[in-house]
Amino acid sequence: MPPTKNAPTEQTSTDRFRLLVDAVQDYGIFMLDTEGNVASWNTGAERLKQYRPDEIIGRNFSLFYPAEAVAAGWPAEELRRAEKDGRFEEEGWRLRKDGSRFWANVVITALRDPDGKLAGFGKVTRDLTERRAHEEALRESEQHFRLMIEGVRDYAIFMLSPDGVIESWNSGAQLIKGYSPSEVIGKHFSLFYRPEDLEAGKPEAELKTALQHGRVEEEGWRVRRDGSVFWANVVISPVYDANRLLRGFVKVTRDMTERRRLYELEKSSKRMSEFLAMLAHELRNPLAPIRNAVTILQLEPSPSPLVRSSRDMIDRQLSHMTRLVDDLLDVGRLTTGKIRFKTEQVPYNLVVARSIEAVRPLLDARRHRLTTEMPAASLLVQGDATRLAQVLQNLLINAAKFTPEAGLIELKVWQDGTQLYTSVRDNGVGLSAQALSQIFELFSQGDAQTAARESGLGIGLTLARSLVEMHGGTLNAESEGPGRGSAFTFFLPNAQAVADGAGDEDDIGSGAAILVVDDNRDAANSLAEILRLMGCQVKVAYDGPSALELFRKQAPQAVLLDLGMPDMNGYEVLAALRALNGGEQVTVAALTGYGTDEDKQRALAAGFDEHLTKPLDFAALQTFLQAAGVAVES
């Protein structure tokens, strides 16, 4: 039957297919004969490999392979495999006409006639250079990331499967947890948890929380390979693939044991400071009446030699005990950064004079000879007079304690430009090289055998150096060795010499009314006795209501008011007193065993005119009375 009109003939179909193949530009499609010679060539092949049909048809396709592949017989091997299996596919480097290389995906298909005899090969080649470059860049990026993760030593970074099985392990994980990769990969991450955490289901709960919230972070104890525990900061985040399927979890662990230790030390330091403040208060309360009793004895006109000797011994030991209490408080303030001082122009000559006066009883008791060398002009420095005196007193006390009886102590002050130097030198026991390197450390007492013979807490020099440094100076020690004495020298900046012009203090008269309020009867009565010996008229109350009643009858010039009274404390008494007639004008001092800056600020903010710390210093009492306009007998 003849073909219908317009029906495509076999020749027409072949021509159309040839046109279709020839039009493809992204693929090189061509035919090879059974020997591998090019038999056809499409536009894509010409575009890809740069050969025109007349340049390549009839030549062997091995022309497209690098020399090393040709030498290895690879082109023929590809045809052999394609003939054997019917099809062969691979990726590899191929050559263009100009000799440049490109990465090609190659598919070779064996072509057979109707009888099954090999008629040649069809070959399709695609340029994948750009994709390969992208993949190489991605692999390189992954390699860099892997190396970066592997190089991190401060953090344990590892992958978990969706079930919590460890899949990767970096060097930080090995360092922190103690496992090598071969020991831990493939095991469940719960082996890092304590038994009580496992019993509570903590590992599973962490993964669940991470899934619910996209991340979980916590701190807690974790277990190392050797069974020891460390305080860890842990972050777990889920990892998803491109299709939002859970790939697993990434876990980052950091050893925070040292930070936790510092935090615990800070808490302990705070508790210690609170304890020291309470201890100082409790010690100062009984010290107050003792100090008052000693002062009364000192004001007696003509005590017997035995009484005078006993009185002076009590005074020395009481002063020593008071210094220990003050040092305890100051070291607590130092460790918490709470030491504050008032900076002003300080007459340094007066600081030196008061320091010597305070230490004189100890020097006399040990029969030391003190020599002083001072500039002729008066000296002014920027600082806190009380703290500077504390520095110098600590150095003088240290020299007195560690110098045998009848020793020599030299105090020298000199100015170099704007720097003021102070040196305390003795001919005492001296310091070894090791003791010299440790002498300013907290609780250090120099050489053990020498320290054992002397009392003290080993904090005086630490306080002295810290206070000097807070003034912008430095404190150093030197010694030529044991038995050859020591010298402590410090400098203060911003010093200046001025002409002498300090006036004498005003004379103090007599006859004043003072109200003493304290629930501790011994403290109240002994303080009242001191005031009477000073020529004051004194009234005493042992509680708040009694004090207010006495005030209503006759308003005194000044009130010494204890804060820590039961039922009605000092703050409440002050508020009630200020509301009485004449209460706003009277000068009131707070008496307390608490002596921190915060305690003082609270008292002044509440309306007290002065804050006096127990045991009450006689000089501080005189200063208060003078400020209140109270005249006393000298």
Show me where the domains of the chain are located.
Answer: 10-128, 152-255, 265-304+506-634, 344-498
User: Which neighbouring-strand residues pair with 91?
Assistant: 105
At 448, the pLDDT band (50, 70, 90 cuts) reads very low
CATH topology of domain 10-128: Beta-Lactamase (3.30.450)
Tens digits of per-residue pLDDT, 343-377? 888 889 888 887 887 788 888 888 999 999 988 78
Question: What pLDDT is stored for residue 60 in this prediction?
Answer: 94
CATH topology of domain 152-255: Beta-Lactamase (3.30.450)
Q: What percent of the chain has pLDDT over 90?
A: 43
Tens digits of per-residue pLDDT, 297-331? 877 777 788 887 787 778 777 776 776 677 666 65
Query: Which contacts of 232-241 are long-range, i.e. CB under 8 A and separated by 24 or more positions?
Result: 232/256, 234/206, 236/160, 236/206, 236/207, 236/210, 237/210, 238/210, 238/211, 238/214, 239/159
Question: What pLDDT is stored for residue 541 in this prediction?
Answer: 92
Tens digits of per-residue pLDDT, 131-181? 888 877 777 766 666 666 666 678 888 999 999 999 998 888 898 999 999
Pairing verdict, β 27-32 and 587-592 = unpaired
Q: Which residue has the higher pLDDT, 433 or 618?
A: 433
Q: How far apart are the first and last CA of the chain?
A: 153
| Cβ–Cβ < 8 Å for 296, 526 | yes
CATH number of 265-304+506-634: 3.40.50.2300
Structure tokens at 621: 């009492």
Structure tokens at 559: 């009130």
Asked if the domains 152-255 and 265-304+506-634 are classified in one and the same CATH topology, the answer is no
CA–CA separation, 454 and 1 (whole Å): 135
Question: What pLDDT is stored for residue 146 in this prediction?
Answer: 65
At 395, the pLDDT band (50, 70, 90 cuts) reads very high
User: Which neighbouring-strand residues pair with 497?
Assistant: 379
Question: What pLDDT is stored for residue 490 in this prediction?
Answer: 95
Question: What pLDDT is stored for residue 269 in this prediction?
Answer: 63
* Closest C-alpha among 440, 485, 446, 447 to residue 467: 440
Q: Which residue has the higher pLDDT, 512 or 575?
A: 575
Question: What pLDDT is stored for residue 618 in this prediction?
Answer: 79
As a whole number, mean pLDDT of residues 484-513 equals 65
CA–CA separation, 493 and 471 (whole Å): 8
Question: What pLDDT is stored for residue 497 in this prediction?
Answer: 81
At 535, the pLDDT band (50, 70, 90 cuts) reads confident
At 506, the pLDDT band (50, 70, 90 cuts) reads very low
CATH topology of domain 344-498: Heat Shock Protein 90 (3.30.565)
Rama region for 229: left / alpha / beta (φ>0; ψ in -120 to 50; rest): beta
Q: Which of 109-123, 280-294, 614-628 has the highest mean pLDDT?
A: 109-123
Pairing verdict, β 118-127 and 27-32 = antiparallel
Question: What pLDDT is stored for residue 502 in this prediction?
Answer: 36
Tens digits of per-residue pLDDT, 331-340? 555 555 556 6
Q: Which residue has the higher pLDDT, 190 or 273?
A: 190
Question: What pLDDT is stored for residue 450 in this prediction?
Answer: 46
As a whole number, mean pLDDT of residues 240-263 equals 87
Tokens 């390197």 sit at which residue? Answer: 437
Question: What pLDDT is stored for residue 533 in this prediction?
Answer: 74
CA atoms within 13 A on the CB side of 465: 13
pLDDT above 50 (res 505) = no
Question: What pLDDT is stored for residue 611 in this prediction?
Answer: 93
As a whole number, mean pLDDT of residues 480-491 equals 94
Count CB atoms within 10 A of the CB of residue 555. Answer: 17
CA–CA separation, 286 and 630 (whole Å): 27
Question: What pLDDT is stored for residue 503 in this prediction?
Answer: 31
User: Which neighbouring-strand residues pair with 537?
Assistant: 513
pLDDT above 90 (res 342) = no
Structure tokens at 442: 């907290």
CA–CA separation, 625 and 588 (whole Å): 10
Q: Which residue has the higher pLDDT, 59 or 137?
A: 59
Structure tokens at 381: 């420095």
| Cβ–Cβ < 8 Å for 614, 285 | yes
Question: What pLDDT is stored for residue 543 in this prediction?
Answer: 92
pLDDT above 50 (res 508) = no
Question: What pLDDT is stored for residue 462 in this prediction?
Answer: 81
Tokens 């090999």 sit at which residue? Answer: 118
pTM over 0.95: no
CA–CA separation, 60 and 55 (whole Å): 11
Question: What pLDDT is stored for residue 271 in this prediction?
Answer: 67
Tens digits of per-residue pLDDT, 216-249? 999 999 999 988 889 999 999 999 988 889 999 9
